[in-house]
Amino acid sequence: MVNEEPNQQEHDGSPAQEPALRADPSTSAHPSVSIHPSVSAHPSVSAHPSVSIHLSVSAHPSVSAHPSFSIHPSVSAHPSSPAHPSTLAQPGGLAQPGGLAHPSSSCPEDLSVVKVSKRRWVVVLLFSCYSMCNAFQWIQYGSINNIFMNFYGVSAFAIDWLSMCYMLTYIPLILPVAWLLEKFGLRTIALTGSALNCLGAWVKLGSPKPHLFPVTVLGQIICSVAQVFILGMPSRIASVWFGANEVSTACSIAVFGNQLGIAIGFLVPPVLVPNIEDRDKLAYHISIMFYIIAGVATLLFILVIIVFKEKPKHPPSRAQSLSYALASPDASYLSSIVRIFKNLNFVLLVITYGLNAGAFYALSTLLNRMVILHYPGEEVNAGRIGLTIVIAGMLGAMISGIWLDRSKTYKETTLVVYIMTVVGMVVYTLTLNLGYLWVVFITAGTMGFFMTGYLPLGFEFAVELTYPESEGMSSGLLNVSAQVFGIIFTISQGQIIDNYGTMPGNIFLCVFLTLGAALTAFIRADLRRQKANKETPENRLQGEEEEEEESNTSKAPTTVSEEHL
């Protein structure tokens, strides 16, 4: 056995067995006690990952005058052989996952220290900013749908596809990007996403002419690819950079940026691009909007290069520390997906999240069309209604994130927010055609508070249900569901509005939101990450013992108590 002590020595070629109890009268009155201190004949394999109990801290027969009690799981003598992760019991009760001879590339320098970094707020705010920029580019066409229809001479459906291409691109690319996130880490994904976002913005600068609609489509497709590198990151950034009592708040801030971008996308384009007949003047106003967004995207890309780091020096929580210790560069990506889809609670969450987020995407895309039908010439107020929906949702997201960090009531909070989303959608549907814009502002804001506020709840609930699987994987699958339902709802509701009016289209969404609320009630609150954060070192050793007994690759550690001795 190799003991991890200050005077650690390796004894290659030592006898296969030593006496279990060795007393040396010349050393101390408190001799060290070693249970099963044998070393495998083959140093590349740890044949007996047993647990040694030392009444003193020393690698030699000699014993300190002040005996202490510690538990040391044995590790492989060969540096290329990973041993099972283990935990050291310390006076402070801090769990130290360790025992990996080959730690993952994403593992911090010292897993024994759990500490949050001051840089964490800068990282999450920077991510929030370039996510905001990308979200603005998603909705900038839909918020003035009728103006772009007239400028490019295309149908409303063609302009709708400028929004739906974000959803369509995401579906086939999310799994490769999630794999890249696991393989290369946060910084590489952040650089790629911000770079593509910047490139798409500059491509659009070549499109403010009526015959160059394909160029604006190309720029939008590039931005949609950038979105794949952005949407799945909030929960991952929160887990890697923030402590156990901050993760939900941090995830809400990260999602907050995306929602703020949508809000600005509703507000700014109607102001910058007025509804005028002169196409030359219209082209000038459109180019001004494109120049502004290209400049902002470029600045944010430069800041990501300078500021964004891969990970903090120390893990911010016990769950993250254990996650680093369990990480393996040889882990099967496909097996991770299979394990996630065997989790019935997560599958139900994927469906319910997709129904809610898909309804939000459809409403955002079609809002301008719905408002103009009932209130002609109110493009600016249509944008302001969209702004109200998103701002209220951002407030809801922040409140729910803080509430989750304090209460940890994921299931209850998610269900209540979902039910209130259905109520808000019904009220909005019934008041849209009353002829009073101020009423629409109030009912739309109430609906947005819950509908948009639900989005970060879904991310955090998914991480809890699937821990210790990758946060990028669970978030990515939620977003795939959202994009699929978003495309279905946008096309279906658009056709219903064109043929039957806005109320049947909104009732269509109400039905599916009610279904989502009912399914949410069946999700069981299996909060695995919270259990990992609360787990004591002794409990974790017992848990590892039970898991390793079922494994065919190693022998379970044996825990011996003082009473047994």
Tell me what pLDDT residue 320 has. 64
Q: What is the DSSP string of 273-292?
A: S---S-HHHHHHHHHHHHHH
pLDDT at position 35 is 37
Measured in whole angstroms, the distance separating CA 189 from the mean position of its chain's CA atoms is 13
Tell me what pLDDT residue 551 has. 47
CA distance 186 to 23: 53
Q: In this structure, which amino acid lies at residue 108?
A: P
Domains by residue range for the chain, with CATH: 117-313 (1.20.1250.20), 335-528 (1.20.1250.20)
Burial call 381-406: b when 16+ CB within 10 Å, e when fewer: bbbbbbbbbbbbbbbbbbebbebbbe
Q: Could you give the angle at which helices 502-520 and 410-431 cross, rounded to 10 degrees?
A: 170
CB burial readout 283-301, b (16+ within 10 A) else e? bebbbebbeebbebbbebb
Partnered with residue 73 across adjacent β-strands are 51
Q: β-strand 70-73 against 51-54: which pairing, if any?
A: antiparallel
End-to-end alpha carbon distance in the chain:
19
User: Could you tell me what percentage of the chain is helix, strand and coil, using 3-state DSSP and rounding each to the nearest 5?
Assistant: 65, 0, 35
Among 256, 218, 261, CA closest to 237:
256
Whether the Cβ atoms of residue 445 and residue 326 lie closer than 8 Å to each other = no
**For position 478, what pLDDT does the model report?**
86
Residue 287 CA: distances (Å) to CA of 42, 52, 161, 268, 377: 70, 71, 21, 14, 23
CA atoms within 13 A on the CB side of 455: 34
3-state SS record for 180-208? HHHHHCHHHHHHHHHHHHHHHHHHHCCCC
Please enumerate in sequence order all residues whose Cβ is within 8 A of that of 25, keeping only pairs 6 or more positions apart, or say none.
none
Cis amide linkage into residue 468, ω under 30° from 0? yes
Inter-residue contact 398 to 256 (CB < 8 Å) = yes
Element (H, E) at 407: helix 379-407
Strand partners, 98: 86
Closest CA to 529 of 338, 355, 316, 334: 316
Between CA 203 and CA 197 the distance in angstroms is: 10
CA distance 28 to 22: 12
Backbone angles phi, psi at 436, to 5 degrees: -115, 110
Q: Which two tokens stand for residue 410?
A: 């994921």
Looking at the DSSP bridge assignments, the partners of residue 70 are 54
Contact (CB, 8 A) for 348 and 519: yes
Query: Distance between CA 320 and CA 305 in Å, rounded?
Result: 25
User: What angle, rounded to 10 degrees, do the helices at 247-272 and 279-307 form?
Assistant: 160
| pLDDT less than 50: residues of the chain | 1-109, 330, 536, 538-541, 543, 546-547, 549-565
- Return the pLDDT at 333: 63
Q: What would the two tokens of residue 337 be?
A: 């997906």
Beta strand ranges found along 215-311 (DSSP E): none
Let me know: does 425 contact 443? Beta carbons within 8 Å: no
What backbone phi and psi angles, to 5 degrees, belong to 533? -70, -30
CB 81 within 8 A of CB 101: yes
Angle at 167 between CA 451 and CA 160, to 5 degrees: 90
- CA 550 to each of CA 347, 543, 555, 558: distance values in angstroms, whole numbers, following the listed order: 26, 11, 9, 14
